[in-house]
Amino acid sequence: MYKYIREKRVKVNGKKAVQNLRLNEGDVVDFYIRDEFFEKESDTSFTRLNPNLNVVFEDENILLVDKRPGVIVHSDDKETNGTLIDKIKAYLYKKGEYNPDEERSFVPSLCNRIDRNTGGIVICAKNAEALRCVNDLIKNNEVSKKYLALVHGTFNNKEGHIKNFLLKDSNTNTVKVYEKPTPNALTAESYYTVLKTDVSRNLSLVEVRLVTGRTHQIRAQFSHMGHPLVGDGKYGINKNDKKMGYKFQALYSYKLVFLPKEKDNLLYYLKGREFKVNEVFFEDEIH
């Protein structure tokens, strides 16, 4: 849907819409959407997939999966098969927990997304109530997500707070960073801690905690600071990084903590639980 907004396929009162537009009573919203956008009920091709998932945690309500870099979460114009959600459906299908021929009210759904070339924990809701509750937790900042990033350069301060404004350029699929409020730019806020430093190679391993979750937030903010991520060709120069074997940006959503405040939230029983991936491919790059 965000892509269609960028492509001007969503209009309000005959004019192109922007992502942060607030609707008013009486507004007319038109959608110009390709048929391929709508999932065909008869499409059960995912049942033939080999799921091969890295499951971090699972119960009757949610499934936490460690998505590897290079895997796309949802289908797009270029790739329609073998997505993460397809593999999750196949996994639940083979377990007997999801049958597309019988289910008419709910399909397993992802609650967050991670860029194709970034790895990390993705939350999948296994029922409608869990989906609503996870979405509420994310909306209210009651899910703490931490990332590991391998970046160029060393830091004077071992801890820091980043707050600036990101403006997305749909033509280049990048974001620009501004230090002051800018029309249509969204506030982006992060905290970071330097875990390791290799002075001889001019590299640092950094843990980042997101307050907001904007597009390319970590990649853009650290590049703006003069510390582009290793392997990031979009916000840095990765010619030498490729020689080191980095096909993707060294960024991983490796840790997640549920912090629900309301006891009536279905997932309150997970309060304080920390979930972490088993391995991050660049974590031991700096000894």
Distance CA 231, CA 237 (A): 8
Identify whether 66 is a catalytic site residue: no
Contact 232/125 with Cβ under 8 angstroms?
A: no
**Can you give the three-state secondary structure of 96-137, one letter per residue?**
CCCCCCCCCCCCCEECCCCCCCCEEEEEEECCHHHHHHHHHH
Distance CA 256, CA 147 (A): 9
| 93-100 CB contacts, 8 Å cutoff, 24+ apart | 93/46, 93/47, 94/51, 97/126, 98/126, 100/41, 100/44, 100/47
- Of the listed 66, 86, 115, 232, which one is catalytic? 115
Distance CA 173, CA 188 (A): 17
Q: 146 by DSSP, 3-state: which?
A: strand
Distance CA 250, CA 202 (A): 15
Active site residues: 115
